[in-house]
Amino acid sequence: MSPNKFLVDECEVELSAIRAQGAGGQNVNKVSSAVHLRFDIRASSLPDEIKERLLCLSDSRITQEGVLVLKAQQHRTQEMNRADALARLQEVVDSVSNPPKARRATKPTYGSKQRRLEGKSQRASIKSSRGKVQD
Protein backbone atom coordinates (compact mmCIF):
# COMPACT_ATOMS: atom_id res chain seq x y z
CA MET A 1 0.00 0.00 0.00
CA SER A 2 1.41 3.40 -0.96
CA PRO A 3 1.34 6.22 1.61
CA ASN A 4 -1.44 8.14 -0.22
CA LYS A 5 -3.89 5.23 -0.43
CA PHE A 6 -6.71 4.97 2.09
CA LEU A 7 -8.56 1.69 2.37
CA VAL A 8 -12.32 1.82 2.76
CA ASP A 9 -13.52 -0.11 5.80
CA GLU A 10 -16.10 -2.68 4.71
CA CYS A 11 -18.17 -2.20 7.88
CA GLU A 12 -18.89 1.39 6.73
CA VAL A 13 -20.38 0.14 3.47
CA GLU A 14 -24.02 -0.86 3.18
CA LEU A 15 -24.53 -3.64 0.63
CA SER A 16 -27.90 -4.96 -0.50
CA ALA A 17 -28.75 -7.58 -3.10
CA ILE A 18 -31.22 -6.65 -5.84
CA ARG A 19 -32.34 -8.21 -9.07
CA ALA A 20 -30.20 -7.37 -12.07
CA GLN A 21 -31.58 -5.74 -15.22
CA GLY A 22 -31.15 -6.79 -18.82
CA ALA A 23 -30.45 -10.10 -20.49
CA GLY A 24 -29.83 -13.21 -18.47
CA GLY A 25 -32.74 -15.47 -19.20
CA GLN A 26 -34.65 -17.04 -16.34
CA ASN A 27 -31.74 -16.43 -13.98
CA VAL A 28 -32.35 -12.67 -14.02
CA ASN A 29 -35.95 -13.16 -12.86
CA LYS A 30 -35.20 -15.58 -10.03
CA VAL A 31 -31.87 -14.58 -8.46
CA SER A 32 -30.90 -11.32 -6.77
CA SER A 33 -27.38 -11.21 -8.14
CA ALA A 34 -26.87 -7.46 -8.53
CA VAL A 35 -25.41 -5.49 -5.63
CA HIS A 36 -26.43 -2.02 -4.51
CA LEU A 37 -23.63 -0.31 -2.53
CA ARG A 38 -24.20 2.75 -0.36
CA PHE A 39 -21.26 4.57 1.25
CA ASP A 40 -21.91 7.54 3.54
CA ILE A 41 -18.93 9.81 2.91
CA ARG A 42 -19.52 12.16 5.84
CA ALA A 43 -19.90 9.34 8.39
CA SER A 44 -16.86 7.41 7.14
CA SER A 45 -13.49 7.11 8.86
CA LEU A 46 -11.63 8.63 5.90
CA PRO A 47 -9.48 11.74 6.56
CA ASP A 48 -11.31 15.07 6.29
CA GLU A 49 -9.41 16.23 3.17
CA ILE A 50 -10.39 13.03 1.32
CA LYS A 51 -14.03 13.51 2.37
CA GLU A 52 -13.94 17.10 1.08
CA ARG A 53 -12.52 16.07 -2.28
CA LEU A 54 -15.06 13.25 -2.61
CA LEU A 55 -17.96 15.59 -1.83
CA CYS A 56 -16.62 18.17 -4.32
CA LEU A 57 -16.64 15.65 -7.18
CA SER A 58 -19.24 16.38 -9.82
CA ASP A 59 -20.32 12.74 -9.87
CA SER A 60 -23.97 11.83 -10.37
CA ARG A 61 -23.47 8.79 -8.10
CA ILE A 62 -23.03 11.07 -5.05
CA THR A 63 -26.35 12.22 -3.55
CA GLN A 64 -27.13 15.59 -1.93
CA GLU A 65 -26.76 13.92 1.49
CA GLY A 66 -23.19 12.84 0.65
CA VAL A 67 -23.90 9.17 0.00
CA LEU A 68 -22.05 7.43 -2.83
CA VAL A 69 -24.34 4.90 -4.54
CA LEU A 70 -22.92 2.20 -6.83
CA LYS A 71 -24.78 -0.58 -8.62
CA ALA A 72 -22.83 -3.63 -9.76
CA GLN A 73 -24.54 -6.10 -12.08
CA GLN A 74 -21.85 -7.14 -14.56
CA HIS A 75 -21.37 -10.67 -13.27
CA ARG A 76 -23.73 -13.60 -12.78
CA THR A 77 -22.88 -14.19 -9.14
CA GLN A 78 -23.59 -11.94 -6.20
CA GLU A 79 -20.09 -12.47 -4.78
CA MET A 80 -18.38 -11.24 -7.95
CA ASN A 81 -20.71 -8.23 -8.15
CA ARG A 82 -19.97 -7.47 -4.49
CA ALA A 83 -16.22 -7.57 -5.15
CA ASP A 84 -16.69 -5.41 -8.26
CA ALA A 85 -18.68 -2.79 -6.32
CA LEU A 86 -16.07 -2.63 -3.55
CA ALA A 87 -13.26 -2.34 -6.11
CA ARG A 88 -15.07 0.51 -7.87
CA LEU A 89 -15.60 2.28 -4.54
CA GLN A 90 -11.89 1.95 -3.81
CA GLU A 91 -11.08 3.39 -7.27
CA VAL A 92 -13.20 6.48 -6.54
CA VAL A 93 -11.45 6.99 -3.18
CA ASP A 94 -8.02 6.45 -4.78
CA SER A 95 -8.81 9.00 -7.49
CA VAL A 96 -9.05 11.78 -4.89
CA SER A 97 -6.39 10.51 -2.48
CA ASN A 98 -3.61 12.56 -4.10
CA PRO A 99 -4.06 16.31 -3.66
CA PRO A 100 -4.31 18.25 -6.93
CA LYS A 101 -1.14 20.03 -7.98
CA ALA A 102 -1.14 23.80 -7.60
CA ARG A 103 -1.24 25.48 -10.99
CA ARG A 104 1.66 27.78 -11.74
CA ALA A 105 1.20 30.59 -14.22
CA THR A 106 3.61 30.42 -17.15
CA LYS A 107 4.38 32.67 -20.10
CA PRO A 108 4.77 31.65 -23.73
CA THR A 109 8.37 31.26 -24.89
CA TYR A 110 10.04 33.69 -27.28
CA GLY A 111 10.15 31.01 -30.00
CA SER A 112 6.45 30.24 -29.71
CA LYS A 113 5.63 33.96 -30.01
CA GLN A 114 7.80 34.22 -33.14
CA ARG A 115 6.16 31.14 -34.74
CA ARG A 116 2.70 32.53 -34.00
CA LEU A 117 3.51 35.91 -35.54
CA GLU A 118 5.14 34.29 -38.57
CA GLY A 119 2.05 32.15 -39.14
CA LYS A 120 -0.17 35.22 -38.88
CA SER A 121 1.91 37.16 -41.43
CA GLN A 122 1.88 34.18 -43.86
CA ARG A 123 -1.89 33.95 -43.55
CA ALA A 124 -2.21 37.72 -44.10
CA SER A 125 -0.13 37.57 -47.29
CA ILE A 126 -2.27 34.68 -48.61
CA LYS A 127 -5.45 36.63 -47.94
CA SER A 128 -4.11 39.87 -49.41
CA SER A 129 -3.28 38.07 -52.66
CA ARG A 130 -6.95 37.12 -53.06
CA GLY A 131 -7.99 40.69 -53.82
CA LYS A 132 -8.72 42.32 -57.19
CA VAL A 133 -5.89 42.25 -59.70
CA GLN A 134 -4.34 45.70 -60.26
CA ASP A 135 -3.01 46.62 -63.75
- The answer to the question of residue 79 being in a domain is yes
Alpha helices in the chain (DSSP H): 26-30, 48-56, 78-95, 110-128
- The answer to the question of residue 117 being in a domain is no
What integer pLDDT is reported at residue 1 of this predicted model?
A: 46
The number of folded domains in the chain is 1
Model confidence pLDDT, tens digit, residues 34-80? 899 999 988 888 888 888 988 888 888 888 888 999 999 888 888 99
- The answer to the question of residue 81 being in a domain is yes
DSSP one-letter string for 4-16: T--PPPGGGEEEE
- The answer to the question of residue 74 being in a domain is yes
Angstrom distance (rounded) from CA 37 to CA 68: 8
- The answer to the question of residue 87 being in a domain is yes
- The answer to the question of residue 46 being in a domain is yes
Q: Domain range holding 55?
A: 10-95
CATH number of domain containing 16: 3.30.160.20
Sort residue 25 into left (φ over 0), alpha (ψ -120 to 50) or beta: left
Question: pTM of the full predicted structure?
Answer: 0.68
Q: What is the CA radius of gyration of the chain?
A: 27
Angstrom distance (rounded) from CA 85 to CA 20: 14
